[in-house]
Amino acid sequence: MVYTKKIFITGGCGFIGSNFIKLLLNETEYQIINYDMLTYAGNLNNLKEDEKNPKYFFIKGDICDKERVLKSLEGCDVLINFAAESHVDRSIKNASNFITTNILGTSILLDAAKELGIKKFIQISTDEVYGSLTKEDSSSKEEDILKPSSPYSSSKASAELLALSYYKTHKLPVIITRSSNNYGLYQYPEKLIPLFIINLINNKKVSLMGKGENIRDWIHVEDNCRGILNIIEKGKVGEIYNIGGENEKTNMEITKCILDEFNKDESWIKEIPHRLGHDFRYSLDCSKIKQLGWKPKYTFQEGMKKTIKWYRENPSWWKKLMEESK
């Protein structure tokens, strides 16, 4: 079989990357090279059932290794950069890995893409680059000024600016995506939703920062992946696209939603201090991507039920990760 495009995906063993690869394998004829260093959040088991697919090929590698990147990227049409250090709390404790991977790594990928004449470079970013909003503020639009608060979001904003500079200076066909908080299958259990689900499965309390008043917009990972695919096929180079679920919830609302699924009350909540520089609210205006014909498939309630069901039915996936993280 002749495949129409060869897509190079960095960080494809992570949460969003592995879900994106599954979408491509199931619904497109693209040939995929998954390039991943397999750090703590990269898990080959996410794609175990896809290993023998003739459209899929895995390479273990570091995006900061330019020689290996160039060799692996040769012959590809599209580069999608999911690879990133992504946990805010880890960035607050030690920012060096975030600077190395998220900024230096992105610059090496950009140079390689320029050298090899890649036809499209998709930089995966986050709504956190906009910084904190108040309840009264309008949702963030793509042209808004960036005001990142944490070392993590600052490193992602830096990577975006680098990517856009390659578009403006070298005419590299770059597109940026900024998504809201993702949830769903195969999410590493350090993030709020999978961690709370697993704690309750194990009859442990959930630790909530403050009174849980901070607000996030939530999108099912499959909806984000479909948005990215839509942008690859229909997006305009040099542009930025927000991808949000339009499900703004306080952290307390999320917590109560999960507790309800386990028939547990608020006595299972343990209040802990806020992280340093804890942003109050994120919210995305997604009018631009909707003009490309995209819209979310899942309601928040549907997505959460599917997610909780999966973690309940797949303890073998997360138990090993929980042991390794101790």
Q: Amino acid identity of 284? A: L
Q: What is the mean pLDDT of the chain?
A: 95
- Please calculate the CA angle 17-164-71 and round it to the nearest 5 degrees: 55
127 part of the active site: yes
> Domains in the chain, ordered, with CATH?
6-187+219-247+278-301 (3.40.50.720)
Known active-site residue 282:
no
Burial 293-309 (b: 16+ CB within 10 A, else e): ebebebebeebbeebbe
Catalytic residue among 152, 186, 241, 311: 152
Beta strands in 83-144 (DSSP E): 120-126
262-286: string of b/e by CB count within 10 Å (b at 16+)? bebeeebbeeeeeeeeebebbbbbb
Closest alpha carbon to 270 in 203, 213, 211 = 211
For 258-277, what is the mean pLDDT?
95
- The answer to whether 152 is a known catalytic residue is yes
| pLDDT at residue 137 tops 60 | yes
Q: Are strands 174-179 and 181-183 parallel, antiparallel or unpaired?
A: unpaired
pLDDT, position 275 = 86
Q: How far apart are CA 204 and CA 226, in angstroms?
A: 34
Q: Which of 36, 62, 85, 127 is catalytic?
A: 127
Beta strands in 86-243, from DSSP E residues, in sequence order:
120-126, 174-179, 181-183, 206-209, 215-220, 240-243
- The model's pLDDT over 180-190, given as tens digits with 9 standing for 90+, comes to 999 999 999 99
Whether 326 has a pLDDT exceeding 80, the answer reads no
Please pick, among 128, 217, 223, 248, the residue that the annotation labels catalytic: 128
Residue 261, pLDDT > 50, answer yes
Q: What is the pLDDT of residue 90?
A: 87
Question: CA 76, CA 72: separation in Å to the nearest integer?
Answer: 9
Query: Over the stretch 22-67, which tens digit does the pLDDT of each residue have?
Result: 999 999 999 999 999 999 899 999 999 999 999 999 999 999 999 9
Q: Sort 324 into a burial class: Cβ within 10 Å, 0-12 / 13-18 / 19+.
A: exposed
CA distance 28 to 38: 25
pLDDT of residue 243: 98
pLDDT over threshold 50, residue 2: no
Beta strands in the chain (DSSP E): 6-10, 31-36, 56-60, 78-81, 120-126, 174-179, 181-183, 206-209, 215-220, 240-243, 248-250, 269-272
In the predicted model, is pLDDT for residue 4 greater than 70? no
What phi and psi, each to the nearest 5 degrees, are found at residue 53?
-65, 125
